[in-house]
Structure 1
Amino acid sequence: MDNEIQQKLARYESFVNEGLRKDLKDTLDARDTIYDQISEYLKLAKDIEVIKDNGLKEMKTQVDLGSNFYVQAKIPDTKHIFVNVGFGFHAELTLDEALEFIKKKEVHLQKKAALFTEKASQIRAHIKLVLEAMAEIMKLDRTPGPRSFNV
């Protein structure tokens, strides 16, 4: 294999490893973050259903202050809750309003996750295409070229 072809292959390999694979990881991480948000909203919906089904007027619970550090909290009135509606804003909603918001938010987040999944599939296809091109270059380099005969 001559030096020029080796340099081209090294550039392609660098493009795959430093560009495409990094983009793929970032895309999958973003999608996983969205799935985590969906999970949190579904947990909240389940908790709201428990409150409604049991007719709880007040309750005691554990609140995460961050880094999995929990403290006990007493909720004197369960008619309204504060829900993270995005961009750092929280809205005070009734339980029914919160459930309706969660349904809409879940649909929105599922669509967003699907976009990231599609983007990840495209990046995987690009990686496969570049790797196949590299294999073809290596195969062509090993194949003897057409021979000319003097007649």
Structure 2
Amino acid sequence: MQSDAAVQQKLARYETFVNDTLRRDLKDALDARDVLYDQISEYLKLAKDIEVIKDNGLTEMKTQVDLGSNFYVQAKIPDTKHIFVNVGFGFHAELTLDEALAFITKKEAHLQKRAEKYTEKASQIRAHIKLVLEAMAEIMKLDTTPPPRNLNL
């Protein structure tokens, strides 16, 4: 049998591993997935706006643009034939509406696959947390079980 201090030390190491490593990794994976979901949402919003422009045959329009921190200004778009789309890494490409829709479809699928990978990673981390917690519970159960008696008569 292990000494009570050794068992407590082992439990403390497991608890530290769960709290300092696994839970942090889980939060990081979920945060990264949320960032991707935000990007997907922005692209889908843009696709909806493009569809409105195309369906209504708008050649120019007025809109509000978010400059950041929910600070909006009015903007006039004199020509809606082309738009600038963020293609990643800080680059924007001037695309026709149809090109933009095609790009958005591909980009959304790509981001969705990446988000699914983070969801899988989060599931694996949750499983590891559960496994470690179950191991800790088993160790505590074993530690409280009285030693077997010698039944020599």
Shift of 1:4: 1.1
Give the aligned residue type for 1:116: Y
* Residue 90 (str. 1) matches residue 89 (str. 2): no
Which residue is equivalent to 2:136?
134
Once the two structures are TM-superposed, the CA of residue 145 in structure 1 deviates from its matched residue by 2.6
Aligned residue in 1 for 2:30: 28
- Which amino acid in 2 is paired with 1:58? E
The CA deviation string for residues 41-97 of structure 1, in whole angstroms up to 9 with x for no partner, is 000000000000000000010011111111101100000000000010000000000
Matched ranges for 1:1-151 at <5 A: 2-150=4-152
Unaligned runs of 5+ in 1: none
RMSD: 1.1
Distance 1:132 1:13 in 2: 11
CA distance in 1, matches of 2:94, 2:44: 18
**Superposition deviation, residue 150 in structure 1:** 4.8
Deviation, structure 1 residue 109: 0.6
3-state SS, counterpart of residue 145 of structure 1: coil
1:97-143 residue CA offsets vs partner (Å, 9 max, x unmatched): 00000000010011000000000000000000000000000000111
Counterpart code for 1:127 = I
Distance 2:93 2:63 in 1: 20
TM, length-normalised to structure 1: 0.97
Q: How many residues align?
A: 151
Q: Give 1:3 deviation, angstroms.
A: 1.0
Q: Residues of 1 paired with 2:20 and 2:149: CA distance?
A: 39
- The unaligned stretches of length 5 or more in structure 2 are none
Q: How big is the shift at 1:2?
A: 1.1
One-letter code aligned to 1:67: S
